[in-house]
Structure 1
Amino acid sequence: MIRSTTIVRLRDKLPLAASTDDSQDLNELAKYTAEEKEIVRKLNPTSESRASIESGPFTHHYLISNGVIYITICEKSYSRKLAFTYLDDLAKEFSTSNGNKIDNPDLRAFAFISFDNYMQKTQRVYEDSRTNLNLDKLNAELQDVTRVMTKNIEDLLYRGDTLDRMSNMSSTLRAESSKYRSAAKKINFDAMIRQYAPIAGVSLMFVFMVWWIFLR
């Protein structure tokens, strides 16, 4: 279940819009909204563009797109694929309707509070029981988030890790993966050469002998 969502301008951390499920106890979420603010404070243009940060029974999922942070608090059991597809949906609509306004230096906090209506409607769609029951059917359309960096809130906030370090770790993993893929391709190519080179050599020799005997 999606518990709350906040949209923040990346460069100065100005909150632009927010939505919280009215049925939820705000006191229950107080600790996690404080964590959310700390996560947002640590984000910068070099941070990983999307990540999941686990905290007790909840997970913070965030997406950075076009200079804007979209961050949501979900119950840990809620699908990460649905969470990031939900954030992608918000990012596309917010960019379409307000993208040309977010760089205005005179913007006040929660200047786009009216976007809350769209956020709540979209949230209800992604919480619909039929959506969750049909998750297998949705998988073909949902973005692959298997490489989304996942971090524990204690590591991030209380043990000195940073989201920049997460980004560096993720980039290193991708670089290493690419290197090993290239090495695997070379090994496969070498194996193919060893397998077929003798056959090719014999074939060429046979063609040469036919030419020498019958066609020369």
Structure 2
Amino acid sequence: MIVSTAINRLSDKLPLTAYTDDTLSASEISKYIAEQKDLIRKLNASSEPRASIESGPYTHHYLISDGVIFITFCDKSYPRKLAFTYLDELSREFINSYGRNIEQPDLRPFAYITFENFIQKTRRVYEDTRTNVNLDKLNAELQDVTRVMTKNIEDLLYRGDSLDRMSDMSSSLRAESSKYRKAAKKINFDAMIRQYAPVAGAGLIFVFLIWWLFLR
């Protein structure tokens, strides 16, 4: 379940629009709304562009794109891949609609509150992860979100860890991943050589015998 979504300007954290599920009581989610706001305040241009932060029964997911923060928190069981596809869809539509005006210095808070209607409609589409359209999105989405960093909320808000550090950690993971991919390719190539070398050798011997007996 997608509980709350917010869109803020990255440079000064100005809130541009937001939507929260009104079927849940404020007391149930007030702690996580506060965490969402704290996370927004911590983000900057050096932060990892997308990450997941676990907190109790929920997970915060955020995406930074074109100077805008798109952040949502969902039930921990909600597929992470689907959460980021949801944020990607919001970011494309929002930037396409308002991208030229986002950095206006006189922009007032919640200047694009009407975008809440699009958030609600998109949220409904992504709400049921069992629908065929969502399963198709899960299968077709090319973004490798297995590389998205996952942290615990205590590390970031209560133990003083930095979101900026996550970028270095993610780069290290990507380097390790590249190293393992290269190793896997070499292993596969060696296995192919071992599999087909005897066949190729026998074929060469056969050709040589034909040449020796009939063609020389």
Tell me whether the two structures share a fold, i.e. TM-score over 0.5: yes
Deviation, structure 1 residue 107: 1.6
Deviation, structure 1 residue 100: 1.4
Distance 1:163 1:70 in 2: 15
CA separation of 1:34 and 1:179: change in aligned 2, threshold 3 A: same
CA separation of 1:107 and 1:192: change in aligned 2, threshold 3 A: same
- Give the aligned partner of residue 44 of structure 1: 44
Is contact 2:10-2:44 (8 Å) kept? yes
Question: TM-score scaled by structure 2?
Answer: 0.84
Runs of at least 4 residues off by over 4 Å: none
CA deviation string 1:21-64 (max 9, x = no partner): 33433344332222112211222233222222111222211112
CA deviation string 1:144-170 (max 9, x = no partner): 644432221011222232222223222
Secondary structure at the residue paired with 1:103? coil
Secondary structure at the residue paired with 1:12? coil
Deviation, structure 1 residue 7: 0.3
- Give the aligned partner of residue 32 of structure 2: 32
- Give the aligned partner of residue 150 of structure 1: 150
Structure 2 unmatched runs, 5+: none
- Give the aligned partner of residue 67 of structure 1: 67
CA separation of 1:50 and 1:205: change in aligned 2, threshold 3 A: same
Q: Which amino acid aligns with 2:136?
A: A
Is contact 2:51-2:63 (8 Å) kept? yes
Q: 1:138 aligns with which of 125, 134, 138?
A: 134
CA deviation string 1:88-119 (max 9, x = no partner): 22112211211111122222222212212222
Q: Which amino acid aligns with 2:76?
A: K
1:116 aligns with 2:116: yes
Structure 1 unmatched runs, 5+: none
CA separation of 1:213 and 1:17: change in aligned 2, threshold 3 A: same
Q: Which amino acid aligns with 2:135?
A: N
- Give the aligned partner of residue 212 of structure 1: 212
CA deviation string 1:126-153 (max 9, x = no partner): 33xxx3443x662222336444322210
Secondary structure at the residue paired with 1:167? helix
Number of corresponding residues = 212
Question: TM-score scaled by structure 1?
Answer: 0.84
CA separation of 1:196 and 1:59: change in aligned 2, threshold 3 A: closer
CA separation of 1:89 and 1:191: change in aligned 2, threshold 3 A: closer
